[in-house]
Amino acid sequence: MSRVKDSNDIVTPGEVVVDGNDFYTNSGVYEENGKIYSKYFGTVRYGDNSVQVRPMHGRYIPEEGDIIIGEITRVSYSRWTVEFNSPYEGSLNIADATDEYVDLDEDDLTDFFAVGDAVAIKVKSVTEGMDVDMSMEDDRCKKLEGGRVIEIPPSKVPRVIGKGGKMIKQVNNKTGCNIIVGQNGQVWIKGDNANLAAQTIHKIVEESQFDNLTDRIGEFLDEELEGDN
């Protein structure tokens, strides 16, 4: 068994990704005759023992364990509905939202999350029928107070984050902004230099094909910040 393609390689429909069948197949790939093929024009991503292809175009397809940026769109008796730049909606049950005891007959769920609230939230599970359960039970999950949300193609998320998080840490440190990049292509930004941070993230997306992009972006930020002084 061998990887024919590496993580973040671009593949076309029907192209071989793995020569062998020892990887679990996630979304965007299929197994045939001992090989794993791409379903889409997209980018390859490997997990510990799995492989998937995320489409270059189109909306986000949720994957278990992803941290995404979503918006509360409905509050019902014991759960919230979350939209997150996907053909599918997520459901956040009260038990996955808080450790506090909640009396559903007395307490108002909008005290926790109201319609229009932005949240950093985890994809807890995805069924074959694409029922998506969400959870706040992760240190990275929280209600996002203030700030703004911009959108990038989900396929560009790895480039924006960078290897080991180096790219987004650079943007964060140089702009002084708090930035959370959701795997669904929604990016939350809060800080005095939010406009520059947003401009920089869009620049990363537009120039993602260039080598030495981290250095290029660092130089761009230094020039922009120097010009403001």
Q: What is the pLDDT of residues 177-228, one digit of tens each?
A: 999 999 999 999 999 999 999 999 999 999 988 889 999 999 999 999 987 7
161, 169 Cβ separation under 8 angstroms: no
Q: What is the pLDDT of residues 8-60, one digit of tens each?
A: 788 888 999 999 888 888 778 889 999 999 988 888 888 778 888 877 666 78
pLDDT at 57: 66
pLDDT at 190: 97
Which residues, in sequence order, are CB contacts of 36 under 8 Å at separation 6+? 16, 17, 18, 20, 21, 23, 25, 29, 30, 51
The pair of three-digit structure tokens given for residue 46, joined into one six-digit string: 């490997």
Calculate the CA dihedral of residues 193, 194, 199, 204 and round it to 10 degrees.
100
pLDDT at 1 over 60: no
Domains delineated in the chain: 9-55 (2.40.50.100), 66-143 (2.40.50.140), 148-228 (3.30.1370.10)
b/e per residue, 6-24, with b = 16+ CB within 10 A?
Answer: eeebebeeebebbeeeebe
Question: What's the rounded mean pLDDT across residues 55-79?
Answer: 88
pLDDT at 101: 85
Does 107 or 65 have the greater pLDDT score?
Answer: 65
pLDDT at 58: 67
Q: What is the pLDDT of residues 109-147, one digit of tens each?
A: 888 999 999 999 999 999 888 899 999 999 999 999 999
pLDDT at 229: 62
